[in-house]
Amino acid sequence: MSIGKINVENIVASASLAKTLDLKKIVKVLKGAKYAPSEFPGLVYKLKTPKTAMLIFRSGKIVCTGGKNMADVRLAINTVTKNLEKAKIPVYKNPKIDVQNIVAVYNMGLELKLNTIAISLGLENVEYEPEQFPGLVYRVDEPRVVMLLFGSGSVVCTGARNVKEIEIGVKKLTTDLKKSGLIP
């Protein structure tokens, strides 16, 4: 079975840059960085290229959000690492990057009858309360991903750690909808 185009919208990844980091020092050397410990314990640093946001913590951890692919994530974290090295702030070389979550969008190519889907797919994997949220929440056990289905046919997949998991989740969803006679 061939599935259509899956568009990755956001990758959230983390890495360890050092044992500890002096955020007061870093906010002075990273142009445009914001650090307000009374509001948020981390330093916020946004990059224009690739368009990402970094959260840097005293623990030495960094969280990168906004990347559309792993090349963007690597480039963003390497850019921060190089900027810190230039400022004589000791950081690890080539930190290991761990993907925490990938959010992707997929279009089924047809309108979805969410009430019928909620009834057909069963209560154990589905949440649908249209008064609270316009989408149907469909949980896939393996891989552990969550699909948000909308009447327009748009599906948002979250919780994946790689694109393969998204593809498997979309295939399982499509198979379940076909088995139930909900899509051709």
Same domain, yes or no: 78 and 112:
no
pTM (predicted TM-score): 0.89
Last residue within a domain, chosen from 69, 99, 129: 99
Asked whether 119 and 65 are in contact (CB, 8 A), the reply is: no
Same domain, yes or no: 162 and 124:
yes
| Host domain of residue 146 | 108-179
pLDDT in tens, 4-57: 689 999 999 999 999 999 999 999 999 999 999 999 999 999 999 999 999 999
Reported confidence tier of residue 1, pLDDT bands at 50, 70, 90: very low
Other CB atoms closer than 10 Å to residue 1's CB: what's the count? 6
Q: What angle do CA 26, 27, 30 make, to 5 degrees?
A: 80
Does residue 2 sit within a domain?
no
Last residue within a domain, chosen from 48, 77, 99: 99
Whole-number pLDDT of residue 37: 95
Same domain, yes or no: 90 and 112:
no
CA distance readout (Å), 6 to 17, 45, 65, 143, 146:
31, 29, 19, 16, 15
Structurally, how many domains does the chain consist of? 2
Mean of the per-residue pLDDT values for the chain? 94
Whole-number pLDDT of residue 182: 85
Whole-number pLDDT of residue 2: 44
Reported confidence tier of residue 90, pLDDT bands at 50, 70, 90: very high
Last residue within a domain, chosen from 99, 121, 143: 99
Amino acid at 110: L
User: Which tokens go with 108?
Assistant: 């089924």
Burial of 127 from C-beta contacts in 10 A (0-12 / 13-18 / 19+): middle
Same domain, yes or no: 125 and 54:
no
Does residue 55 sit within a domain?
yes
